[in-house]
Amino acid sequence: MQIPPQSGVRNESEFRRTLRQDLVFWKGLHGGGARRAVHRTVFDLQEFYLESHSRDRLRRMGRLRRAVFFVGWLLKSLFFKLSPARRLLLVLAFVGMWSAITIERNGGTTGVDVGFPLVTIAALLLIVALELKDKLVAHYELEAGRAVQRALMPEANPIISGWEVWLFTRSANHVGGDLVDCVPIDDRRFGIVLGDVAGKGLPAALLMAKLQATVRALASESTSLATLGEQTNRILCRDGLSNRFATMVYVNVTANSGSVAVLNAGHPPPLVLRNGRVEELPRGAIAMGILPDARFFETPVELGDGDALVIFSDGVTEAMNVSDEFFGDERLRGRLLGLGGMDASGIGTEVVANVDEFVGDTRPHDDLSLVVLRRTSTGGVYRRQMV
């Protein structure tokens, strides 16, 4: 891929933006920020470079032994993740560094003289430059993929009379595997979709695009939600990967009607908020992309004025804080109980804010998506928010 050249004006603006980001970072190091930054960096290194069994062993070690083993395992993993040519260059750099160290003995005195290993420094800088180049190329490709993914999301502000609809999705990485969509069937009927592809990142995003295209193509032609689920599942089994599957909730919404139909394919059961209590819908069928002959069914739900249907990905309930605790179903239900009088946007915003407060500085482990459908006699607008 060829990265387009940037003009001097753009470089200058990026330079200023970088300085502002650095200033914000240094200000954030005060008041315990440095300790949190170090803890998060070490955690990210462990998650990326170490296998799960190595991380488990580290947790059982004492502090000093843990530090020694962590550095050793990290260096080993770094070494073997380099390409063969760069590994050889790194070995030569260490050899040059060692040869620059001389031990001098003068009578009874022994001293160590460390020369200036210019060639070694140049070799290390070359390795860093090559690795950074690879990262920047991947970054540009992921940014392009993110732009495409954002373009595939539904346009904002179509009107669904008698409903408030709030959609939210936020990926853990540059691109995500969660699908949030609104599919117009005709002038009065709409399909609201929340899907979650197993895994995250680029592989999940590619399968998510496949799922979205399939659902959009079949939604207006399927005679029932059961048929839609079975047709979509067969296509994913035929064209997908053996170790990838997707869960999905599809809701048929009709303007000025509180009767909705729900298709659940292996997804966490949606919640209904009504009359000061939270009700869980029945669990659905198997996830899509596993068994080609799987059967699916639709669940009818009646929503009265002010009732809300909340659909969420497991990025909500499985969000983890620094203590490795899950946000969990009980916290979600408890938070929803106090939001019964709010509109769809207020309910969704409060839930996301509550999850973010619980997670704190911990890096998200999964994409987070949320859909809130609220029945209202005063009409409503469809809104989309993507982060």
Per DSSP (E only), the strands in the chain are 101-106, 109-114, 163-170, 178-184, 189-197, 246-254, 259-265, 271-274, 277-280, 298-302, 308-312, 368-375, 382-386
The pLDDT of residue 146 is above 90: no
| CA dist 130 → 76, 93, 272, 323 (Å) | 19, 15, 53, 36
pLDDT tens profile 125-135: 777 777 777 77
Specify the range with the lowest mean pLDDT, choosing from 20-29, 169-178, 371-380: 20-29
Is it the case that residue 277 has pLDDT exceeding 50? yes
pLDDT at 195: 92
If we measure between CA atoms, which residue out of 262, 258, 192 comes closest to residue 226? 262
**Could you read off the pLDDT of 98-112 as tens digits, one per residue?**
766 665 666 555 555
Phi, psi of 226 (to 5 degrees): -60, -45
Chain centroid to Cα 239, Å, comes to 24
Statement: residue 96 has pLDDT above 60: yes
CB atoms within 10 A of CB 379: 13
Q: Are 313 and 370 in contact (CB under 8 A)?
A: yes
The span from the CA of 136 to the CA of 144, in Å, is 12
Q: How confident is the model at residue 192 (pLDDT cuts 50, 70, 90)?
A: very high
The pLDDT, as a whole number, for residue 383 is 45
Mean pLDDT of 214-218: 92
- pLDDT over 90 (residue 331): yes
Phi, psi of 16 (to 5 degrees): -65, -40
Query: What is the pLDDT, as a whole number, of residue 285?
Result: 92
Cα–Cα distance list, 278 to 308, 313, 334, 346, 356 (Å): 10, 17, 9, 17, 22
Tally Cβ neighbours within 10 Å of residue 216. 15
pLDDT at 300 over 90: yes
Q: Summarize the confidence of residues 330-350 as an average pLDDT.
A: 92
Across 276-280, 286-290, 327-331, 376-380, least confident range: 376-380
* Amino acid making up residue 75: L
Q: What is the pTM of this model?
A: 0.70
Q: Report how far residue 307's alpha carbon sits from residue 329's, in angstroms, rounded to the nearest whole number.
A: 20
Q: Are 365 and 320 in contact (CB under 8 A)?
A: yes
H/E element, 209 = helix 202-219
pLDDT band of residue 10 (cuts 50, 70, 90) is very low
Q: Which residue has the tokens 């990326």?
A: 48
Per the prediction, the chain carries an average pLDDT of 80
Is residue 339 a contact partner of residue 226, using CB atoms and an 8 Å limit? no
pLDDT on residue 8: 39
pLDDT tens for 133-144 read: 777 676 666 666
> What pLDDT does residue 1 have?
31
Local confidence band at 295 (pLDDT 50, 70, 90 cut-offs): very high
Q: What percent of the chain has pLDDT over 70?
A: 75
Average pLDDT over residues 313-325: 89
Is residue 145 within 8 A of residue 205, CB to CB? The reply is yes
Domains by residue range for the chain, with CATH: 8-147 (no CATH), 156-386 (3.60.40.10)
